[in-house]
Amino acid sequence: MASVARLEPVDSPGPLGVFRPPEIHIECGAFRGSLATLFVCVRESKVDLLDIPLGPVCEAYFRYIIEEQQVELESVGVALAALTYLLERKAWRLLPKPEVEEPDAEDLLDDVDPYVHEFQPMIEDLLGRAEERSHLFFRSADSAQLPYELPFETGGVSPSDLAVVFERLMERAKPDPPETLNRPRRSLSEMMFVVLKALPGDFMNLEEIVTGEFTRTEVVWWFLSLLELIRLGQARVRLSEGQVQFARGE
């Protein structure tokens, strides 16, 4: 909303210079004041022109020129210059911003200091190690984001207790024979089935469950399968009188 009111001339210069424009009063949600005040606020970036409708302001200005009997050329000229400035600024704000093209990764490297390229061999080595790890381990290195890899509940049995059991089995194990070419790869799921069949219904010490002769590699696979069964709830573990005991899941 905009309206025009005539005020008495003053001797001191206003915000728009020596000549004073018609007092165009502007009222909207983002601003309330005169045209001269709006001009100053926009120039100092205190007001966003996108929130101020300039159509009613221009309409009030032209209505003043048409209806006023005695129009001072200098006064209306100053107001016209202020309106022109505001319209131009708002027009620029309404124009769509050009899309910024993202530079290529190679272009970014060209802009970086030359010494950064000295780390390229190290980067390639780390990437190669990560690829090797993906072929050796069936779980990711960052397991925090995968719910099925969270630490499982073992009751009162600590990792140290499980480590003692594993160490005892390794002491009983025999060294592995030399590996043969084209040796079939072990399957953890198949080994889990073997371990599950060997587990008793009642709790027993692992030394009583695992009998006979076995190699160190077989101990590792046996123990990994046992831990996986505990995680899945298909095997149970407890600490009884300082001894770690295992049983089939309920």
Domain definitions of the chain by residue range: 2-94, 149-176+185-248
pTM over 0.85: no
Owner of token pair 């300082």 = 242
For residue 200, CA distances in Å to 27, 115, 132, 203, 233 come to 86, 63, 38, 7, 15
Tell which CATH classification among 1.10.3470, 1.10.10, 2.40.10, 3.10.260 matches the domain 149-176+185-248.
Answer: 1.10.10
Owner of token pair 């165009």 = 24
pLDDT of res. 181 = 63
> Which of 8-17, 60-69, 93-102, 181-190 is predicted least confidently?
8-17
Residues 55-72, mean pLDDT to the nearest whole number? 77
In whole angstroms, what is the distance from residue 148 CA to residue 131 CA? 22
pLDDT of res. 10 = 41
pLDDT of res. 20 = 63
In whole angstroms, what is the distance from residue 250 CA to residue 232 CA? 12
84-138 tens-digit pLDDT: 888 888 888 888 877 777 766 666 656 556 666 777 888 888 888 888 777 665 5
pLDDT of res. 218 = 87
Which has more pLDDT, 238 or 178? 238
pLDDT of res. 132 = 78
Q: Which one-letter DSSP state was computed for residue 51?
A: G
Q: Would you say 222 and 210 are in contact if contact means Cβ atoms under 8 Å apart?
A: yes
Whether the pLDDT of residue 5 is over 70: the answer is: no
pLDDT of res. 7 = 36
Instruction: Give me the torsion for CA of 217, 218, 223, 229, rounded to 10°.
Output: 130
pLDDT of res. 4 = 43
Using 50, 70 and 90 to split pLDDT, how confident is the model at 9?
very low
